[in-house]
């Protein structure tokens, strides 16, 4: 349905969300920082006291590294939207 036909049929288009609600960078940054802090804490506990399970350490390391992958995907998506790629999400910042 095109935007013109939506107006003709009486349907309204929802207003755009505020930019701060659409931007995923702060959330990804907080999550990446949380995984890094958990990794550091568990690594210190494991090396100093031998109490932290190694599976948890590796899980936190993987979460921290995946946060950097998420930043790469966000950058890739934003650059695609800036250059006008067809499949890119169109977000106005």
Q: What are phi and psi of 48, to 5 degrees?
A: -85, -40
More confident residue, 5 or 16: 16
- 3 falls in which pLDDT band (50, 70, 90)? low
pTM confidence score? 0.73
> Cβ contacts of residue 78 below 8 Å, gap of 6+?
91, 93
pLDDT score at 51: 85
For residue 80, is pLDDT > 90? Answer: no
59/37 Cα distance (integer angstroms): 12
Contact call for residues 51 and 45 (beta carbons, < 8 A):
yes
Tokens representing residue 42 in the block: 């568990």
């Amino acid at each position: 349905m095109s935007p013109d036909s939506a107006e003709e049929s009486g349907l309204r288009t929802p207003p755009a969300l505020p930019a701060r609600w659409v931007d995923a960078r702060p959330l990804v940054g907080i999550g990446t920082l949380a995984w890094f802090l958990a990794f550091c804490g568990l690594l210190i506990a494991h090396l100093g006291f031998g109490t932290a399970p190694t599976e948890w350490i590796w899980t936190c390391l993987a979460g921290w590294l995946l946060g950097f992958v998420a930043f790469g995907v966000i950058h890739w998506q934003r650059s695609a939207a800036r250059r006008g790629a067809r499949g890119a999400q169109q977000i106005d910042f």
